[in-house]
Homo-oligomer: A and B are copies of this chain.
């Protein structure tokens, strides 16, 4: 049996040399007659799928032999230039439901010049396009591989099933003595029986057989999870095609024990069993997300064989069950900062019993694996442009730099942008107000609620069914209130603006009605209070000052691009983020919003094993900048609390506000409002 990792050496220009061209890549070269098309392809660097190691059993390595004359390639092809299909090949094609005319490249042998088409489903080196503002291609090369083996029934004197499988893995796939997970060993005899000797093995990192299934299986599943302080997001992927099968999200149930990372640390350290309780809570939530996601994809959680986790340092420690105490005080030393590989079952994750977990490394005390995910997704370390990446979340993280030097810092944003600690805040779920527009002249309000296609102004009140307001709605509401003059630059509500929506809200504090009692599912108005505006101010100032700090350290006055990342409702409204002063003033076309970049990075690490090595390197290379504990910094923070106004150098913001007023005056506000978000 040929070893797929050692393409056969060719003697060029010997008489039996044939030219073979593979489509659609156009890769071509000369190979020895008699070689299988699979070996020919490999020797020319053309990737063709095969999970049986060329044994003629999996039916994956299908190709189409093109017939006729091909002047373009200077060769004649015909069925005579390839060996004809024998009974074995016809029967496996029939068994795997392959159409007529398809040949198996491991069984078809070169007899003359050939033009061969590799259909899309048989192409190895798959790629998947990540749907994001910045479209990126992920090379699908997961740490999991499948192998299809057929064992003859044992005869007296044969070695054990385990040893015969290990021998085939070495001879067919070049794998040296991988270990066998005990759970996989346990299921081996039943799988061999059920598959009549044919079993699919799931192999981790060419080192361990972690699952055995009867018959042909080639779609192992993986789960990428972004563990935020407030929200969890899970991405279920087909590790074969790289396809995203389902996305699920939930509140982090740890919020019951504390809103932010410092209160989580306190709970973990001070409450008996606190650490274990927080650990179990997040693991339980991940199990729920996995169950939902696999149900959506018509699969079972047992099919998940690999998992990548990201999260800030505290979420990371709690998910692994590690003591986060050291993260609560100087010098903020993590227990484990390098990548961690573990068995999913040892964490309590209810995936396949042999499933593995990979946890991306941390960058520093407070700059976590989630930010490493952001780097994998946005790749600032590969670019010439100086980019500022602001990952908005309860624990905000900021990156600044390019291929020469990349800085990172954490920013204790607070949970305002995730809807927590906001009077009517909620996570991005049906009923959440996710978008807000306020006419600066009429003070008319339009909202858009998750689950509704139309803005409130186009719907009867009772159809709106608002329940609360999510992160993106909070940001927009504050920006709109400010632009409409309902909120002053200081953040105070402007009682001189005459609006019936300006009321005394809960606890008697000033508040603005976003959804009236009639528009609300609760029968009470949904409001944004003075305290809520203050929370947003603290959050945006923290991010702004963090960005300023890194720009000063990096010695730049402005950046080439700003990336706004975050996973709360719609993409962050980049214009309004700038209007409230969350990011430095700059031309709007240099700002993009990308959604959950940390989750995207987790997905990349799930689908591509070499990205894990890259993550480890870049996590070590990125420089962590800690905020100086000085008066100067406090002063900067206080100065960043107000919204941008005339006395501040925010020319782009001022222009945007002026344009907005103009648009409102000409009655184009709500249509413009929609266009703005079509980024």
Q: Which residues of A contact B (CB under 8 A)?
A: 154-163, 166, 179-180, 182, 185-186, 188-190, 320-323, 325-326, 330-338, 340-342, 346-347, 362, 364, 624, 626
Is B334 in contact with A182, judged by CB distance below 8 angstroms?
no
Copies in the complex: 2
Residue of B189, B331, B335 touching A323 (CB-CB under 8 A) = B189
Is B335 in contact with A156, judged by CB distance below 8 angstroms?
no
List the B residue with the shortest CB-CB distance to A321. Answer: B186
| 7 A-B residue pairs with CB within 8 Å | A156-B332, A157-B331, A158-B331, A160-B336, A163-B338, A182-B340, A182-B347
Is A337 in contact with B156, judged by CB distance below 8 angstroms?
no
The CA of A156 and the CA of B623, in the complex, are separated in Å by 13
The CA of A326 and the CA of B159, in the complex, are separated in Å by 13
Is A158 in contact with B189, judged by CB distance below 8 angstroms?
no
Q: How far is the CB of A618 from chain B (nearest CB, A)?
A: 15
The CA of A335 and the CA of B155, in the complex, are separated in Å by 13
Chain B residue numbers with a CB within 8 Å of A157 are: 331, 364, 624, 626
Chain B residue numbers with a CB within 8 Å of A341 are: 179
The CA of A159 and the CA of B337, in the complex, are separated in Å by 7
Most B-side CB within 10 Å, residue of A159, A160, A190: A160
Is A186 in contact with B156, judged by CB distance below 8 angstroms?
no
Q: How far is the CB of A473 from chain B (nearest CB, A)?
A: 38
The CA of A155 and the CA of B626, in the complex, are separated in Å by 13
Chain B residue numbers with a CB within 8 Å of A155 are: 331
The CA of A190 and the CA of B321, in the complex, are separated in Å by 13
Is A185 in contact with B626, judged by CB distance below 8 angstroms?
no
List the B residue with the shortest CB-CB distance to A183. Answer: B346
Chain B residue numbers with a CB within 8 Å of A325 are: 189
Q: How far is the CB of A327 from chain B (nearest CB, A)?
A: 10
Is A189 in contact with B338, judged by CB distance below 8 angstroms?
no
The CA of A364 and the CA of B158, in the complex, are separated in Å by 8
Is A180 in contact with B333, judged by CB distance below 8 angstroms?
no
Most B-side CB within 10 Å, residue of A331, A333, A347: A333
The answer to whether A322 and B154 touch (CB under 8 A), given A162-B338, A335-B162, A337-B160, is no
Q: How far is the CB of A162 from chain B (nearest CB, A)?
A: 4
Apart from A158-B333, A162-B334, A180-B336, list 11 A-B contacts with CB within 8 A. Answer: A154-B333, A156-B330, A157-B364, A160-B338, A161-B336, A179-B341, A182-B320, A182-B346, A185-B335, A186-B322, A190-B323
Is A160 in contact with B333, judged by CB distance below 8 angstroms?
yes
Most B-side CB within 10 Å, residue of A180, A182, A323, A346: A182
The CA of A161 and the CA of B333, in the complex, are separated in Å by 7
The CA of A577 and the CA of B292, in the complex, are separated in Å by 67
Is A334 in contact with B160, judged by CB distance below 8 angstroms?
yes
The CA of A451 and the CA of B475, in the complex, are separated in Å by 84
Residue of B161, B321, B326, B364 touching A335 (CB-CB under 8 A) = B161
The CA of A189 and the CA of B362, in the complex, are separated in Å by 17
The CA of A156 and the CA of B157, in the complex, are separated in Å by 63
List the B residue with the shortest CB-CB distance to A623. Answer: B157
Is B320 in contact with A185, judged by CB distance below 8 angstroms?
yes
Q: How far is the CB of A73 from chain B (nearest CB, A)?
A: 47
The CA of A342 and the CA of B333, in the complex, are separated in Å by 32
The answer to whether A154 and B331 touch (CB under 8 A), given A337-B163, A362-B160, is yes
Q: How far is the CB of A504 from chain B (nearest CB, A)?
A: 47
Chain B residue numbers with a CB within 8 Å of A322 are: 185-186, 189
Chain B residue numbers with a CB within 8 Å of A190 are: 323
Chain B residue numbers with a CB within 8 Å of A338 are: 160, 162-163, 166
The CA of A156 and the CA of B326, in the complex, are separated in Å by 12
Chain B residue numbers with a CB within 8 Å of A624 are: 157
Is A336 in contact with B154, judged by CB distance below 8 angstroms?
no
The CA of A162 and the CA of B317, in the complex, are separated in Å by 12
The answer to whether A156 and B346 touch (CB under 8 A), given A333-B161, A340-B185, is no
Q: How far is the CB of A224 from chain B (nearest CB, A)?
A: 20
The answer to whether A189 and B320 touch (CB under 8 A), given A154-B331, A182-B347, A331-B155, is no
Chain B residue numbers with a CB within 8 Å of A364 are: 157
Q: How far is the CB of A381 from chain B (nearest CB, A)?
A: 19
List the B residue with the shortest CB-CB distance to A345. Answer: B346
List the B residue with the shortest CB-CB distance to A323. Answer: B189
Chain B residue numbers with a CB within 8 Å of A166 are: 338
Chain B residue numbers with a CB within 8 Å of A335 are: 160-162, 185, 188-189
The CA of A336 and the CA of B347, in the complex, are separated in Å by 27
The answer to whether A342 and B189 touch (CB under 8 A), given A334-B160, A337-B160, is no
Most B-side CB within 10 Å, residue of A161, A166, A180, A189: A189
List the B residue with the shortest CB-CB distance to A330. Answer: B156
The CA of A179 and the CA of B320, in the complex, are separated in Å by 15
Is A161 in contact with B321, judged by CB distance below 8 angstroms?
no
Q: How far is the CB of A171 from chain B (nearest CB, A)?
A: 16
Residue of B163, B323, B336 touching A162 (CB-CB under 8 A) = B336
The CA of A49 and the CA of B154, in the complex, are separated in Å by 49
The CA of A626 and the CA of B364, in the complex, are separated in Å by 63
